[in-house]
Structure 1
Amino acid sequence: MTEWKFSQVFGEQTPGEYIQDCDILSAMEFDKNGDHLAVGDQGGRVMIFERHAGKEDLLEYSSRTDSGQFNVPQRQPPEFQYMTEFQSHEPEFDYLKSVEIEEKINKIRWCTKLNRSLFLLTANDRTIKLWKIKEQKVKKVKQMDVNSSVTSENSLLADRSYMSGQSELSPANGRSLEWTNKVNDTLPSHLADITDVASTRSRRVYANAHDFNINSISNNSDGETFLSGDDLRINVWNLEVRDQCFNIVDMKPKDMEDLTEVITSAEFHPFHCNLLAYSSSRGFIRLVDMRKSALCDHNVKILQDGGSRGSKTLFSEIIASISDLKYAMDGRHILTRDYMTLKLWDTHMETSPVATYKIHEHLRPKLPKLYTNDAIFDKFDCCLNVDGLQFASGSYSDRLRVFSCGTGNEDGITLEVKKDPNRKPTSQATSRPRRSSLSNLARGFYRQGQDLSSENEITCNLKSKLLHLAWHPTQNLIACSVGSSVFMYHA
């Protein structure tokens, strides 16, 4: 069984520390090579972490063991360091619809790297922005070491050795060699130091194309287009065109009272630029080929779990909603996460998933309580490794669940995400009031301002939840967010 170990933490909270709502992390993503990690928060900020250049992938051979043999070298996990941060989105107000638009970062996606510059897409509820991050060589001027009791302009005159030297006669050429040597000894060996500084600039803003909250952005394998999806529509953009997009999926009915499901996640195929998949609140996965028609919401292939077609209840319909969808690198398998389970699908099998992994099955008898305090509407991310054989998702009490395909261990591995395993988990990271989402309002399931006093009847801590995580594209390294902290675990 794979053993997972703590690797790094950024911004760990101390016990009892108060976390502001704007500092809670809301999105994260590794770039294609795994050299950079982008993290967004509810305050509209984006932080970039880069892989430490001096870190070797392999440890050197250690000393001989008792049996006289050398130890096998172990692969060392990549180490990351802080690079830069910038303000991506600001709070806005739509005066036509009287709607406040939060600055919270919903999704982050890396674009193709060009000319040593990084490109990043960030999205809040209504607007998508393309950012360029470029490292520049900057000369940093160093100050001279002078006497602290005098100013830099008068330092030479204030030195007694220099003052005493003025009483001596100057040589014929008017230049004193003794003074020249003393000045050279006082000046630093170099006045400037060249350092790398990351500068960020907004290249394009893609706005005014979504009437509902954006829940997905995904780059196409052609390197030129990307999609953006909200509760009812999916649009395709060209990265070079900011004021025009093509609507390929529209699920909005003529009468909103006839609305039965909404879009929850969408993603392009990893290497076929004409294929994409999107999930719905009813637990369906629709596979789309853009070559068949301009509007792709009818000519689709639907994947659904035939084993869950039993008696329908209020809670069974809510927990069937898919909160996240990820394509495997082989392009054939899809990983989805709903409230209770993690499912692996084969796109050639439409009737049932290949495997189903239970995340927090002990909460199933508590669904009425979870509905009362709105925890049942929490949306958890999922991720998988490069070979598509290991999967991960989060749970309550800051738990990370990791599963492996074909091992026979359906329970997987559970990790409590914290640096010190002996320290008690903190529960001060309260979330901001839940926004009114169309996916909840359309079915009449949304409740607001519920009291969490009944939480003591549930064994896990509903306030501490691991919602967002990302798997390194080349190594067994998982980055996950807890409150305002980024934790990394390696295997």
Structure 2
Amino acid sequence: MNGGGEERAATPLDWKFSQVFGERTAGEEVQEVDIISAIEFDRTGDHLATGDRGGRVVLFERTDARENGAQRIDLERMDYTMSKHPEFRYKTEFQSHEPEFDYLKSLEIEEKINKIRWCQTANGALFLLSTNDKTIKFWKVREKKVKKLSEMNVDQSKSLSNGPVVDNTPEISKPYLANGVCKDKGFPSNDISIPSGCFPSLRMPVVVTSLETSLLARCRRVYAHAHDYHINSISNNSDGETFISADDLRINLWNLEISSQSFNIVDVKPTNMEDLTEVITSAEFHPTHCNTLAYSSSKGSIRLIDLRQSALCDNHSKLFEEQEAPGSRSFFTEIIASISDIKFAKNGRHMLSRDYMTLKLWDINMDSGPVASYQVHEYLRPKLCDLYENDSIFDKFECCLSGDGARVATGSYSNLFRVFGCSEGSTEATTLEASKNPMRRQVQTPSRPARSLGNLPRVLRRGADNSGADANGNGFDFTTKLLHLAWHPTENSLACAASNSLYMYYA
């Protein structure tokens, strides 16, 4: 898989810190509602959206794109490299979801944003989907020109507060209209003066449109009451008209224009719930084939389905899973095999999956096994019992691919994230910590398999560990974890969510 990036992959990228939004000060306590729970670039990469556990969606926009675009045009025949890092700025935010209560099931529904997906833009407005556990919303964000009243502009030379009109002209020399109002050439045509001189002249207010604009977020549609279990995925179709939503047992197909009904296209719920052996963990449409989608399961398998085969896709067209090594099965085997996230490459031929221990790259034309595997948490294998007891083993880490398909990335503990080269022959494996401190910028590892954190400099590890230490006595910090990250669609730029902070890196 080179995707045009094989030549660049020969030399590992030099990642640099770009900017941070919402970084904590020393000793500052993070509120639960401020923790970022979803992150997504739009198709152009000029906009970035994050969702948090408080149900808010925050939008950022690229500020240097126009300048860099001009440089690309001027130097289109040269090997152009950006002289400065990409810059984003805060654009707006809105409350997407509120906490709810299901009275029929006596169940609290959190406002936490599980996923955000951008839709096609139209007439300069931005559109996106956001979802919590039960309800999906379709949002339109657009700029609106501000209208305001002009000043009253009372003529201070002829009026003073509520006092009499100041005028030395003899009363007898003033021309009056039929209604008794004085018509003096020195007065504006819309002034009204009382001959008795008791009130100041008045001027009617005028509504004007100023050059200022404000951003207005409006919920266009609400897609609700279609899932009995928690929604874990939403994904737009390449046709621009439909999208899917997936929970533990079902996948529904929606039309963006119709919120009153959806079609159930996948149903893995058994007749007897005691026979349930696996659940759906993630689902995504193919980037170019509108009839194809993939979904992963808690057993570590990925199923490719074709919507043209039948209305209810009970049968998959392809099954991707890796066979277990003989004698390797244990109590934790199924838990760590559960896939937490899948992503299609931009070219549509490859898929990336993340389970607790590894990243796997799949070729959709080869269902015999992954074409590449990358060890992310192999150093944690001796501590699976501790991870199970503190529930860390159930953490759901996301993954992403670069636009050219040459690299993949995922997160880890202690706010670390890892970048691997996936071009043929690449040994690139870089570990970075999401931190503003440039001393914690990055560490290059010489080979593809993950190295123990004990072999990395101490500066890459922050915080005390409450769960033990590795063989070198260095602590693992399971309380800080980098679950959510996104790769810019056209550049080597990463957005990483560490707690309530959004870190940007570029190479």
Matched positions, count: 439
Q: 1-side partners of 2:143 and 2:326: how far apart?
A: 54
Distance 1:488 1:308, change over 3 A: farther
Partner of 1:8: 19
Partner in structure 2 of residue 91 of structure 1? 99
Confirm or deny that 1:129 pairs with 2:146.
Answer: no
CA contact (8 A) 1:234 1:249 kept: yes
- Report the CA distance shift for 1:140/1:243 in structure 2 as closer, same or farther (over 3 A): same
Distance 2:148 2:87 in 1: 26
1:305 matched residue in structure 2: 322
Distance (Å, rounded) in 2 between the aligned partners of 1:311 and 1:392: 27
Contact kept? 2:238, 2:288, Cα under 8 Å: yes
Query: In the alignment, is the contact (CA less than 8 A) between 2:235 and 2:243 conserved in 1?
Result: yes
| Partner Cα distance (1:8, 1:20) in 2 | 22
Instruction: State the partner residue of 1:37.
Output: 48
Q: For the structure 1 residues 364 and 117, does the alpha-carbon distance in structure 2 shift closer, same or farther, using more than 3 Å as the test?
A: same
Match of 1:181 in 2: none
Separation in structure 1 between the aligned mates of residue 61 and residue 428 of structure 2, nearest angstrom: 33
8 A Cα contact 1:59 1:73, kept in partner:
no
Aligned partner (choices 299, 307, 318) of residue 282 of structure 1: 299
Partner of 1:210 in structure 2? 227
Deviations 1:36-76 (A, max 9, x none): 11100000000011111675227989xxxxxxxx9975354
Native 8 Å contact 2:462 2:477 kept in 1? no
Asked if 1:56 is matched to 2:79, the reply is no
Matched, 1:477 2:488: no
Does residue 197 in structure 1 map to residue 210 in structure 2? no
* Paired residue secondary structure (1:243): strand
Cα distance in 1, alignment partners of residues 267 and 214 from structure 2: 44
Going from structure 1 to structure 2, the CA distance change for 1:175 and 1:355 (only over 3 Å counts) comes to: same
Instruction: Report the alpha carbon displacement of residue 13 of structure 1 after superposing the two structures with TM.
Output: 0.8
Which residue in the other structure is 2:36 paired with?
25
> 1:344 corresponds to which residue?
361
Higher deviation after alignment, 296-305 or 99-108: 296-305
Tell me the residue number matched to 1:454. Answer: 467
Counterpart residue type for residue 91 of structure 2: M
Deviates most, 418-427 or 92-101? 418-427
Give the match for residue 88 of structure 2: 80
Alignment of 1:40-439 (within 5 A): 40-52=51-63, 56-57=67-68, 74-139=82-147, 175=186, 193-306=210-323, 308=325, 310-406=327-423, 408=425, 410=427, 412-422=429-439
**For 2:379, what is the secondary structure of its paired residue?**
helix
Q: Which residue of 2 aligns with 1:185?
A: none
CA distance in 2 between partners of 1:137 and 1:78 (Å): 28
| Aligned 8 A contact 1:46 1:88 in 2 | yes
Question: Residues 290 and 136 from structure 1, CA distance in 2 versus in 1: closer, same or farther, beyond 3 angstroms?
Answer: same
The amino acid across from 1:454 in the alignment is: S
The alpha carbon displacement at 1:138 in A equals 1.7
Deviates more, 1:96-105 or 1:408-417: 408-417
- After superposition, the CA RMSD in angstroms is 3.2
**Take 1:132 and 1:58, find their aligned partners in 2: how far apart are those partners?**
26
Contact 1:57/1:75, CA 8 A, preserved across alignment: no
> For 1:367, what is the secondary structure of its paired residue?
helix
> What do the CA deviations read for 1:389-430 (whole angstroms, capped 9, x no partner)?
1111000000010111136454611111111145887659xx
**Distance change (3 Å), C-alpha of 1:229 and 1:54:** closer
Give the structure 2 partner of residue 437 of structure 1: none
1:468 aligned residue = 484
CA distance in 1, matches of 2:69, 2:383: 47
State the AA in 2 paired with 1:51.
R
Q: CA separation of 1:31/1:140 partners in 2, compared to 1, >3 Å: closer, same or farther?
A: farther
Distance (Å, rounded) in 2 between the aligned partners of 1:155 and 1:426: 66
The superposition leaves residues 327-356 of structure 1 with CA deviations (integer Å, 9 ceiling, x where unpaired) of 011111000111111110001111210111
Q: Structure 2: which amino acid aligns with 1:199?
A: L
The range that moved more, 270-279 or 191-200, is: 191-200
Aligned-pair CA distance for 1:456 = 5.4
Alpha carbons 2:41, 2:48 under 8 Å: kept: yes
Pair 154,360 (structure 1): closer, same or farther in 2 beyond 3 Å: farther
Counterparts in 2 of 1:73 and 1:247: CA distance versus 1, 3 Å = closer
Contact 1:383/1:471, CA 8 A, preserved across alignment: yes
- Asked whether the equivalents of residues 129 and 138 of structure 2 are also in contact (C-alpha less than 8 Å), the reply is yes
Q: Which residue type is aligned with residue 335 of structure 1?
A: L
Give the whole-Å Cα distance in 2 for the aligned partners of 1:50 and 1:344.
31
Cα deviation for residue 153 of structure 1 reads 8.0
Aligned 8 A contact 2:17 2:438 in 1: no
Structure 1 residue 300: Cα displacement: 3.0
Could you tell me how far 1:196 is from its partner in structure 2? 2.5
Question: Could you tell me whether the CA contact under 8 Å between 1:106 and 1:215 is conserved in 2?
Answer: yes
Match of 1:442 in 2: none
Whichever residue aligns with residue 328 of structure 1, its letter is A
| Conservation of the 8 A alpha-carbon contact between 1:57 and 1:77 | no
| Alpha-carbon distance in 2 for matches of 1:116, 1:59 | 21
User: Offset of 1:357 from its aligned partner?
Assistant: 0.8
- Sequence identity percentage: 57
What is the DSSP-based 3-state SS (H/G/I as helix, E as strand, rest coil) of the residue aligned with 1:454? coil
Find the counterpart in structure 1 of residue 444 from structure 2. none
Gaps of 5+ in 2: 1-11, 73-77, 161-165, 175-183, 188-207, 441-458
1:125-163 CA-to-partner distances (Å, cap 9, x unmatched) read 01101111111122467989xxxxxxx98987999xxxx
Residue 37 and residue 71 in structure 1: after superposition, are their counterparts in 2 closer, same or farther (change >3 A)? closer
Work out the CA distance in 1 between the residues paired with 2:335 and 2:382.
14
What is the TM-score normalised by the length of structure 2?
A: 0.79
The 2-side partners of 1:310 and 1:58 are apart by 56
Is the contact made by 2:467 and 2:476 (CA closer than 8 Å) also made in structure 1?
A: no
| Distance in 1 separating the partners of 2:149 and 2:398 | 46
CA distance in 2, matches of 1:453, 1:346: 40
Q: Write the distance in 2 (CA, Å) between the matches of 1:405 and 1:388.
A: 8
> d(CA) in 2 for partners of 1:197 and 1:45?
18
Cα distance in structure 1, aligned partners of 2:358 and 2:368:
17
**Bigger-Rg structure (1/2):** 2
Cα deviation, 1:230-286, whole Å, max 9, x if unaligned, reads: 000000001111111111111111111111110000000101110000000010000
What code does the residue aligned with 2:299 have?
R
Q: Point out where structure 1 has 5 or more consecutive residues left out of the alignment.
A: 62-69, 145-151, 160-165, 177-190, 429-451
